[in-house]
Every structure is written in structure tokens, then in C-alpha cells.
Amino acid sequence: MSLALDPVLVEPAFRLVARTIEDKILSGEIAPGDLLPSEAGLAEKLGVNRSTIREAIRVLEQNGFVKREAGRKKLYASIPHSGDISKRLTAAMVLHQVTFEELWEAMYALEPAAAASAAHRSDAEDVQDLERNLEATRKALKDSTSLTELDIEFHDLVARATRNRAIQMARMPISELFYPPFLKVMSRLNAGERLLVAHEAIHSAIRDHDEKRAREWMEKHILDFKRGYELANLDMATPVDMPEK
Amino acid sequence: MSLALDPVLVEPAFRLVARTIEDKILSGEIAPGDLLPSEAGLAEKLGVNRSTIREAIRVLEQNGFVKREAGRKKLYASIPHSGDISKRLTAAMVLHQVTFEELWEAMYALEPAAAASAAHRSDAEDVQDLERNLEATRKALKDSTSLTELDIEFHDLVARATRNRAIQMARMPISELFYPPFLKVMSRLNAGERLLVAHEAIHSAIRDHDEKRAREWMEKHILDFKRGYELANLDMATPVDMPEK
């Protein structure tokens, strides 16, 4: 039997250290906000070089498990921000050449469920925020850039009103890619009015806590996205692009 | 006006370098599989220290944008593996104390859509793989550990048959947390038979390309998950745990 390890199975020390600390945060042994030992302290405790600790901390910082105050050396345990992870999923979808059709199918599952859930759980503040969005949308019907931003905001507000982080995290990377290309189509078709009618109906159903009506209108609205795409003679099988920021 | 930069706004050099390379991969300027310049070459090209390049590459490697052959120094551009990103989202949901109810609501949106889509797109191989899974499930009705694994596999096979990466990526981190705790309940309730009947009905609907029937049976099946949870007098509002591996 050979004593040599298969090189593929050898994990760099810094990664093992990063994973050890990550696991302690995930298991709750270290709570978010807890002060971590210094680099020197960690090196001694874990029996590795200080440079290994430094690399492990870079990885943990990058992944949101460790934060430090600007310009300070003190390290704190932290919770990764779901928005940062979502951006990576968005990137992965672009690199894997996911098509608009795939995105559409996912949104057709998620958005009506989100609307129903929002109708169930929304409070007065959610309804007011939606109203502010509608007011701005009415004024932006001829400005396709503003209309895009307001459309994305409307759907994000509905998602926020669900109080459901699983639905929010599932739809975040998809909606990032879904709405921008479509609005280009919508503006060509001059479909702002039609979008507004749907948003108004969804808003009133959420306000009235009418789950069934909220779901049905959102379903119609997402079907409209597909029809618009087809009416503009665009190919649903085209891979999506990274949105311009 | 002060010339001093707000320390919060100063991004470490290694992170800027990592982002520069990441952006080139995302935009397609560097294709997956392309050989990257050496550490020394990158340091010269980007006008930074070699130690900065080294840290940037650690981050890129960790995030799946750079790969190297085991034991070699050559660096290749790569596409992040969606499974790795998904694991981070799973961790984020645990840390944010997402409840079983939130997960359930997301799965109630995604799984019936996945079943309908699988019925639309499945081929003979998908159907055979589902059959093999059912065969093993029939033999495991009294073994709750195997039953859990087979249940997760069944739903993963349905997701694979959708050919829809957006749906697959959206459900991956949720299903990771959803099925294991529930099966503990199911085994207490001795509900393996009921699970098998649902899986058989979903399989036959997918085999027959009957989208409506596949969707309806999956809907019933996911509703059953909730009923089982309630029958076992468990609280849907309890935060989910990290699954044991």
C-alpha cells in the first residue's frame, strides 16, 4: 500500500481551515457578531502557519462568513448576504447559457405563488409601497428605462410581501435576468398600459388579501410576458445575457 | 473637500483583481478552459504585487472561476459549479432561520411546475431512471434512511427531466433542506406506502407525457408533506437545520 496521497484528494490547508471555521458558524458554535481570535491566535490554536490563516480568512471574508471593521484588524463572524450568493447564481446561469424559455418557466411557477403568498401576509406598508410604485409607473408609460426599473421593483415588492425567504432567494437570480430583456420587447410593443392594468389588479388583490385573485392575475401577467416575446418574433430558446448595470 | 477616501469604500487590491478576471469570464472575453497567464505574468500585466495576484487567484479558485490541475501551476478559466453556489444558499437559509413553512411554500410552487415540465420533456432514459428509483423504493418501505435518500433522488430525477436549469438551480438549495426533516416525520407516520403511490402516479404521468396529471399528482404529494407534518404535531414555524451528511 502506497503512503502517497492522491493529489486530487489533498485539500490545501487554507481551505481546510476556512471550512473548519465555516462549519463552526453554520452549527451555531460561533454566532454571527462573535469576535474571532486574532490571526496569530488562530494560527497557534489550529497549528498552522500564519500565512495559511491569512488565506483562509480571505476566503471566509469573500464568502461573507467573516467581517472586519474598515481599517481594523479585529475579525467578527458573520452571515453571508443572500444577495451576494444570488449574484453568483445569476452568473452561473449566464455562463451555462440558460435560455429565456427556462427562466420564463421558472417565473411562471414562482411569481403566481409569490402573489398568493403576498395576498396572505401583506401589511399596510407593503400595500402603500406597491401604490407608490404604481403611481410612478403611470407617469413612466412612455419611458422604457424607468418602466423596466419600476417593473423589477413591483415584482420585488410582491416578493418582499410574502415574508418568505425561500421564495425570495429562489426567484432573486432568475428575476435579475428575466425582466430587463423582456421590457425591451414590451416597450417595442408599447405594452406599458397592459402591464399597468395587470400590476393594478395584482395590487388590489394583495390589498384585499384575495389569494386566488392575486395568483390568477399574476399568472395572466407572466403569460403575457411570453406572448409579448413571441409577438416581437423573438426566439425563446436564445441564451440570456448578463444584465447591464 | 478631503482627499482621504472613506475606508469602507476602499476595496482591497486582490478583490479588484479577482473581479477584473471574473468579469472577463462572465463577458466571454475569457472562455472556460482558456489557459490564464502565470501568476508572474498577471502581476506584470495588472501592475500589482505577486502576493495580490496569489490572493485573487485563491478567491477565484474558491468561487469556481479558476481551476488548476492537481500539483500543477497552470491556471485555467472555469465555470462555477452551480452545486457549490447552491450549498452556500442552503447555508444562508439555515443561518437566516428560514422555517419549514417557508420551504414548503416554495416547494409547493416549484415541484408541480417541475413535474409538468418533466412530463413535457422527459425521454426514455428519464422514465427508466424513475422506474429504477421506484423499484428500490418498493423494497425500502420499512427503512426510513433509504426511503429518505430515494425520495430526494426521485424529486431530483424529476427536476433533471425538466431540462430546465433555472428550475433546477432554484429548487436545489430548498430541496436540500426540505426532504430530510420531513422523511423523519413520514417514517413515524408509516407513510411510505402513501409516498410510493404518489411517486408511481407521477412517474406514469411523466411517462405518458401528461403534464396536467403530473402537475396534479405532484401538488397532492406536496400537500401531503404538509399534512404529515401537522399530523405529527410538528410546528411548521420551526427553523430548519443543516442536514447531516
- B107 and B13 within one domain: no
- B95 and B54 within one domain: no
- B55 and B14 within one domain: yes
Whether chain A has a CB inside 8 Å of the CB on B223: the answer is no
- A17 and A137 within one domain: no
pLDDT digits (tens, 9 = 90+) for A47-64: 889 988 988 888 888 778
Q: Which three cell numbers stand for residue B31?
A: 472562455
Cell numbers 446561469 correspond to what residue? A93
User: Is residue A46 within 8 Å of residue A14, measured between CB atoms?
Assistant: no
- B133 and B67 within one domain: no
Q: Is the pLDDT of residue A126 over 80?
A: yes
- A135 and A26 within one domain: no
Q: Tens digit of pLDDT per residue, chain B (245 long)?
A: 334 434 444 567 888 888 888 888 877 788 888 999 888 998 988 888 998 898 888 888 877 889 887 777 888 998 877 777 788 788 888 888 899 999 999 999 999 999 999 999 999 999 999 999 999 999 998 888 888 889 999 999 999 999 999 999 999 999 989 887 777 776 677 788 999 999 999 999 999 999 999 999 999 999 998 888 888 888 889 888 877 65
pLDDT value of residue B11: 65
Q: Report if residue A215 sits inside a domain.
A: yes
Q: Report if residue A150 sits inside a domain.
A: yes
Q: Report if residue A201 sits inside a domain.
A: yes
- A125 and A143 within one domain: yes
Q: Report if residue A1 sits inside a domain.
A: no
CATH number of the domain within which B72 lies: 1.10.10.10
- B185 and B95 within one domain: yes
Interchain contact, A15 vs B62, CB within 8 Å: yes
- A108 and A227 within one domain: yes
- B226 and B118 within one domain: yes
A139-148: list long-range contacts, CB under 8 Å, 24+ apart: A140/A192, A141/A192, A141/A193, A141/A196, A142/A192, A144/A183, A144/A184, A144/A186, A144/A187, A144/A192, A147/A183, A147/A186, A147/A187, A147/A192, A147/A195, A148/A179, A148/A180, A148/A183, A148/A184
Whether chain A has a CB inside 8 Å of the CB on B95: the answer is yes
Among candidate residues A46, A77, A108, the one where a domain is terminated:
A77
CATH number of the domain within which A95 lies: 1.20.120.530
Q: Chain B partners of A119 at a C-beta cutoff of 8 Å?
A: none
pLDDT value of residue A187: 66
Element (H, E) at A111: helix A100-121
Q: Chain B partners of A7 at a C-beta cutoff of 8 Å?
A: 70-71
- B158 and B92 within one domain: yes
User: Is residue A236 within 8 Å of residue A100, measured between CB atoms?
Assistant: yes
Q: Which pLDDT band, with edges at 50, 70 and 90, does A2 fall under?
A: very low
Q: Report if residue A195 sits inside a domain.
A: yes
- A213 and A104 within one domain: yes
Whether chain A has a CB inside 8 Å of the CB on B122: the answer is no
pLDDT digits (tens, 9 = 90+) for A136-189: 999 998 888 888 889 999 999 999 999 999 999 999 999 989 887 777 776 677
User: Is residue B136 within 8 Å of residue B150, measured between CB atoms?
Assistant: yes
pLDDT digits (tens, 9 = 90+) for A197-233: 999 999 999 999 999 999 999 999 999 988 888 888 8
Among candidate residues A54, A77, A100, the one where a domain is terminated:
A77
Where in A59-210 does DSSP place strands (E)? 66-68, 75-77
Q: Report if residue A159 sits inside a domain.
A: yes
Q: Report if residue B168 sits inside a domain.
A: yes
Q: Chain B partners of A33 at a C-beta cutoff of 8 Å?
A: none
Among candidate residues B28, B54, B77, the one where a domain is terminated:
B77
Give me the domain span that covers residue A57. 7-77
pLDDT digits (tens, 9 = 90+) for A69-89: 777 788 898 887 777 778 878
Cell numbers 479558485 correspond to what residue? B61
Cell numbers 497557534 correspond to what residue? A44
Substitution target in B25, B84, B98, B105 with the highest count of A β-carbons within 10 Å is B105
Q: How many domains does chain B have?
A: 2
